[in-house]
Chains A and B, each alone.
Chain A
Amino acid sequence: MGDFNGLRIALSSLYAQQKAIQVTGQNIANVNTEGYSRQRVDMAADSGPVTPAVYSRYPGPGSGVLTGDTTRIRDQFLDLRSYQEHAVDAGLKESQSVLSRVELAFDEPSDDGLSKLISTFLSGFDDVANNPDDMAARAQLVEQGKTLAAGFTQLDAALATQRSSSIAELDSLVGEVNNAAAQIGQLNQNITSAINNGFSPNELMDQRDQLVAQLAEQAGITIQNGDAGQVNVFIGGTALVRGTQVSPLRVDVGTDPAQTVRVTWAADNYPAGVSGTAGGLLSAVNDVIPRYRAGLAAVAQQLATDVNAIHQTGYDLNGNQGLPFFTTDPSGNVIVNPAIVADPKLVAASASPTATRDGSVAQQIAELTGVGDAYQQLVVRLGVESQAVNRRVDVQASIVQHVDQAKEATSGVNLDEEMTNMLQFQHAYDAAARFMTAVDQTLDTLINSTGLVGRG
């Protein structure tokens, strides 16, 4: 044990406490930084040489403290859980917003939704039945029919617009995902070179984990630790980022009749198993919106079929057999037969070719209830689906909050704790300095005051 060992112990302690104070400062500085993980200096007692030898033994107390790496305090399993729950949450929120926009488009229950248009139109037949040869009543009925048909067409167009805007949203989302993946690849590389060069990669890792969390919400991912501080990011089991290699995604709008939209790997066009916001958007464009459009088209078709079936048994004011009241235009929308629009006399209200003041056929049409019922069921289905998603969003929000809290509990900065640590390290620094003074005084005694016996 050398004489100056005490000074070395004191010095190692001064270094260690100083670094710890700096790290505490860094933690306090980042108390509100999103995604920051608190850091700790790993300290270990330096026990001196550990290889014993006959003449080189070390009987001393050790040689101070070893200042190790500065590590991030983070629970990887909580991270994984958080990625999963956030992906589910983002997917549900997307579905919720799509369904709520569909509900807005339907605008029910109200005085100007399709339900009202249907009952107004059917009532119009009663007005014709009351005055079968009154051209005003007929013209009004035809107008009501046109309004109803336009109502169906407009609602369908609104849903179609929602679908195409969702596809555009998906497109830009996939762009963001590719961008984030590229940044993660770059950060992986920077982290490896930081580690190789002996710098602290902690802040780079925090940045990367932020991007990974963003990817989890946007597309639903799993991660795996790679070599040299890198992470690999997977979507549906296929690597989006492997080390520094990135495989970008693309949006593929199918050429099939339903124009199914897929998110695929740009390299081989093979579908990627995305969830999160992208999953929510995919279900909106491939399932939710097409389903309500089809439901609406079925109601419109039922309207045409039911009304036509009765209308064609009747006779118009000219004594001719009734034409179909509704036809379809080239784009498949239900419209009022243009011949009837041109001449409302062709509304077939009478059950007999000669009895022009008979309105019994029009009366039968006025009493149709199937169309209204089918439409109401469609609206109620929408309400039930939307309500169910709203509830799941609420439940998922509390799960996510819980997981986030657990993560924050592990990685977050507590100011009280940092202040306590700061006091602790400050006092330790003071004590180390005092220890150094003590050693100094011992040496002083040894050097300046020893062997002076009798000097006077």
Chain B
Amino acid sequence: MSSAFRITQRSVGLSSLSGLQAALSRLQATQSKLASGKAISRPSDSPTGTMSALRLRTSIDRADQFDRNAADGLARLGTTDNALTDGLSTLREVRDAVVQGANSSLSQTDREALAAQVDGLRQSLLAVANTEYLKQPIFAGTAGTAQAYDAAGTYLGDTGVSTRTIAPGVKVAVNTPGQDAFGPAGNDVFKVLSDISNDLRTNPGNLTTTDLANLDSAYVTMQNALSSVGSRYHQIEIMQARNQANQLDTKSQLSDVEGVDLPAATVDLQMQEVAYQAALGATARAIQPSLVDFLK
């Protein structure tokens, strides 16, 4: 205010009032920040802060979804891992039977018994191959069939790979199509097992020449599938842990951007209260006296 102005009681009153209102509105703004705990409650409070807040919120939502995707993937791969471990132990039992059956001292009856055992093992391997997760056969690729293999050992699925997005741009396959675990359709482990069962009954000579080699190669295929499942499981676990760490980080960034700095806001509030009281006191003194009070 320029000192050249003629000052009137009304102008003192008006400027005191506008000063008081400004002080009170600052006080109210700080108080509402403290009460809501938010430094940004509308975009104009800080357009750049709003941009960050929106981006961070979106990335938190996205990361939540990645976490869900990862959990789903881990469950599927875990189920696959169990199934393949079972499958491998079944194949080891078959191998024992083959080695035993190749012994020339065995009688036909003994071989019949072994063949029956192999048939039984084939059945349980089929059950393994039809393992389900959430009523979906896990070895059927992406086909919508109820089973991956029928009773005869024919593959009903497809070669589709199903992936889960576990981080921005990172997709991991979470299924193992039948051929990758049990060999190519028509020449798969079920064919190998039925050959073994036939040879035990009719042609024991083949057991050592071809069957054992075929069985070993089926074993290797399944083992490879298992190790691939294990490494993918591990990859998802790592990404999930990293994702969760990021999530914490992002949430703390969001509260930095959006949240109110409590100590600073409390100090502000205190200072504004003092300023407001000082303004009130000064106004009370400035408005009262005029010459009227001093003339007789």
Contact = CB atoms under 8 A, between A and B. Distances in A.
Interface of A: 31-32, 99-100, 103-104, 106, 108-109, 111, 115-116, 118-120, 123, 126-127, 129-134, 317, 350, 352, 354-360, 363, 366-367, 372, 376, 379-380, 382-384, 386-387, 390, 401-402, 404-406, 408-410, 412-416, 419-420, 423
9 contacts: A109-B57, A119-B57, A123-B64, A131-B134, A355-B142, A372-B58, A412-B8, A414-B9, A415-B9
A379 B48 CA distance: 11
A383 B61 contact: no
Contacts of B285: none
Contacts of A133: 136, 144
A380 B47 contact: yes
Contact of A386 (B44, B69, B142, B164): B44
Instruction: Tell which of A108, A356, A404 has the most Cβ of chain B within 10 Å.
Output: A108
Given A119-B61, A126-B65, A419-B295, A357 B144 contact: yes
Contacts of A386: 42-44
B48 to A, nearest CB: 8
B8 A413 contact: yes
Given A123-B61, A401-B18, A31 B54 contact: no
Contact of A376 (B54, B163, B295): B54
Given A350-B142, A409-B5, A414-B9, A419 B47 contact: no
B127 to A, nearest CB: 20
Contacts of B14: 404-405, 408
A358 B162 contact: yes
Contact of B141 (A108, A132, A355): A355
A387 B291 CA distance: 46
Contacts of A376: 51, 54-55, 58
A104 B50 CA distance: 14
Given A383-B50, A406-B5, A413-B8, A99 B44 contact: yes
Given A358-B142, A383-B50, A109 B40 contact: yes
B54 A126 contact: no
Given A401-B18, A413-B10, A115 B47 contact: no
B11 A409 contact: yes
A131 B43 CA distance: 38
Given A131-B72, A412-B11, 9 more contacts: A126-B69, A352-B142, A355-B144, A357-B141, A357-B143, A384-B47, A401-B18, A414-B6, A415-B292
B44 A416 contact: no
B131 to A, nearest CB: 15
A104 B69 CA distance: 35
B142 A415 contact: no
B165 interface: yes
